[in-house]
Chains A and B, each alone.
Chain A
């Protein structure tokens, strides 16, 4: 993998459903993996910074895992709420991030 890729590109879930999406990144010369949440008309907000293989981070109903050997990270949202609707971005690299194109999540009430 030469780039940072995210899947799916978009998804719709019902309120209360749990969901997850994937970020794939180059596993060689790994430094850090960042997750951001970007709501419409707002600025991207940092969710997690992960640096070690096997890292698991949690913030409320949102959690993330990291596998640096195979080059992927999962973001999980438990019990999705309408306010979780946003684009979720991941980025990898040093100071010069390579961003994925994001997963656009819409939670339907």
Chain B
């Protein structure tokens, strides 16, 4: 079956521009997560959606970052007024539910480069 799909796979943009990253989770998965991996760093939690509950935004690094999940399916991560430190691989994952024994299924990521 189809896995988690992310687009674009690569994005190069100038500092100060806004970018939008898209994630299409596995059908039927109620939990969706965004992470990023900066160069030399581990995976950093950004935001979590579970069903119709309010998202856990505690990992968003600044108010330039926002995310939404429409209709409980597709999610978009938006970064406004991008900075060079935003350059990273942004990964989306989904899981059947939010129980800790459920593995997360990852997309291939979006590699974001800010010039």
Task: Check if A and B associate.
Answer: yes
- Binary flags per residue of B79-115, CB closer than 8 Å to A gives 1, else 0: 0000000000001010100101111111111000000
Chain A contact residue count (CB 8 A cutoff): 24
Q: How far is the CB of B109 from chain A (nearest CB, A)?
A: 7
| Chain B minimum-CB-distance residue to A51 | B101
- A32 & B101 in contact (Cβ 8 Å cutoff): yes
Binds B, one of A10-18, A41-49, A68-76, A77-85: A41-49
List residues of chain A with CB within 8 A of the CB of B108.
41-43
Give Cα distance in the complex from A49 to B45, angstroms.
19
- Binary flags per residue of A72-105, CB closer than 8 Å to B gives 1, else 0: 0000000000000000010101111111111000
Chain B contact residue count (CB 8 A cutoff): 29
- B100 & A51 in contact (Cβ 8 Å cutoff): yes
- B48 & A96 in contact (Cβ 8 Å cutoff): yes
List residues of chain A with CB within 8 A of the CB of B50.
95
| Chain A minimum-CB-distance residue to B4 | A43
Q: How far is the CB of A53 from chain B (nearest CB, A)?
A: 14
List residues of chain A with CB within 8 A of the CB of B3.
43
Interface assignment of B56: CB less than 8 Å from any CB of chain A: yes
Q: How far is the CB of B46 from chain A (nearest CB, A)?
A: 10
- A99 & B42 in contact (Cβ 8 Å cutoff): yes
Give Cα distance in the complex from A101 to B44, angstroms.
10
Given A43-B91, A43-B109, A95-B31, A101 and B41 contact (CB-CB distance below 8 Å):
yes
- B100 & A44 in contact (Cβ 8 Å cutoff): no
- B101 & A49 in contact (Cβ 8 Å cutoff): yes
| Chain B minimum-CB-distance residue to A33 | B100
Complex A-B: 7 CB contacts under 8 Å: A32-B100, A43-B91, A43-B106, A46-B105, A94-B100, A95-B50, A95-B100
